[in-house]
Structure 1
Amino acid sequence: MNTLTDRYLAATLTSVPAQRRDEIAAELRGSIEDMIEDRAGNGQDPATAERDVLTELGNPERLAARYADRRLQLIGPTYYLVWARLMRLLLSFVPAIVGTVVAVIDAADGGSVGDVIGSGIGAAIEVAVQIAFWVTLAFAIAERSKTKLDLPDWTVDQLPDAPVDRQVSRTDTVAAVVTITLLLAYLPWQHFRSWVQAADGTNIPIIDPALWTSWLPALIAVLVASVAFEIVKYRVGRRTWPLFGVKVLLDLAFTLPVIWLLHTDRLLNPALVDRFDWLGNDDNLSNVATLSVVITAIVVFWDIVDSAIKTRRANA
């Protein structure tokens, strides 16, 4: 259900102590239903009665603050909720955008990786501090001078949809997308900026550059498809066997070529092997490849088994 009452309860319970949510939910729902029944008994349309009752109860954030015995006040209570909402909105994207722009400009000017990251983070922090200071100062002045901001009153139309009980969390999705994206970024990065250098200071890629004309584009395509899959899985919101099947196919499409390249000694750059003498001694290169194959297989196998268990539980 996603009625106005459900949405109002969800918006209220988000800000109350977790140990009291069930108690408050039962009490508040009962009160709302009683008030709606009273109005409906007097001939008012139930849908209209529901809107009127919730409007009279007011902003659910204020109601939650009363239940939690929490003061909505920074400088004063009049504009606290507006200040808090504006701060969340601005801090959610403005510092990140400014930091990214500064980092890109520094990178275009030839700055080192450390300088680019440092300047981007520094700019983001500075912008966040400036936003927090000036927005708070503006609201403090408005509060103390009793300035009327002529803000619209709260209405039930502002209620967000009640949250859906999801089997796929946003945290898990973000973690998976970030991990895959970092791997995607590393493939071209290691070609130009690996941690290994030749005697003359030139870069030595970790992965054989010859693979850029064969396997690497295919592996990158699989990783891009994996990112899209994680997003689709989050949008679906639940684990299904068809989604599990797609995940297995994507995992195998990436893992099997990597294992084959490792097993045939075609993954690592020959120049890298020549750079480290011990790799060419005895069976060291073969041992490294075998160990990598075993570790890769174990990780992928465990990931598939874990996904199968979660999917089975979700569909039990």
Structure 2
Amino acid sequence: MIERYIYAVTRHLPEKQREDIAKELRGLIEDMIAEQTGEREATDNDIEVVLRTLGEPAKLAAKYSGRPRYIIGPELFDKYITLLKIALPAVALAMLVASIVRYVSAPELIIGTIIGSTLGEILDAVIQAFAWLTAVFALIEHFAVDIVAKKWKRDNWDLVDLPELPIKEAAFKRSEPIVSIVFIVIFFIFFNFAAGQFDFYLPKNNGVLIQIFNPSVLHGYLWLIDICFGIGIVKEILKMVIGRYNLKLMIMNTALGIAALILALIPFSNFKIWNQAFVQQLANAGFITLPANFNPVQPVIIGAKVVIGLIIFSFVSETAHTLFRTFRYGVHEKKK
């Protein structure tokens, strides 16, 4: 019980502080138990009295960190700051890459114009990312936290709310959700701010611009694609909040994954979203030679089916991985 309490406190603190504060807290608890029991041997009831006196682990962690509570409380604050440190530079980098691609695709643009517009777009995107992340975490703090953390009514906290000590194999590597969020943000930026940049600029024959997508069709499905990105970010945030594989995470992750899969298949299974003339334009530019009576649309359809297959494979592999880790390690944590 003491170790579970210490873990519940220190998991809210920066990693470099956890070991020292764990030692300090363990010593404090031992002193309080000694004061409670005198020379007699401590009982479970004595330990429970001391731990209840110390109070809710999240609040005690906030005192150790010297951090007052704001819109985002101690349960989520560290993960919120970590995500900001990762997401904001990722957004800025994605916008910079999008601008570079835009310049390569249209070299006739003046570099000064590109730089000026890029700085404005980066600033706008970073502000939007900050606002959206703050809003998402604030909503989780005020609504989802009460569900995720065993009906977390802080005034009714009790020792039964202490989390189980995670086994090594059940815990996430800290980098896993962070890396995933970075890639999701990058693709989100490209689809929303540089959807027209999914193209090739071929310098041959005075320059030829060949697009991968049909911009008009893509634009109509953009809201569905954005929801998929949002679901992906929510899944990774849940991993950061929960911190380990368990049944609750498995159920939420699978449900969100199914929703994202269905939404993703709607736009990408419509072959009109792809540039049907992609192969023909390559041939017209002189980069490939098509056989006689060859249907140039067929390779586009095959490529679209490959993309759909990759989307389905990604969902199946991630879900299978989550199921395996959960049933192999996560469901045994209480027994440990």
Question: TM-score normalised by the shorter chain: which range applies?
Answer: 0.3 to 0.5
Higher relative contact order (Cα pairs below 8 Å, separated by 6+ residues)? 2
TM-score normalised by L of structure 1 = 0.48
Structure whose alpha-carbon radius of gyration is higher:
1
TM-score normalised by L of structure 2 = 0.45
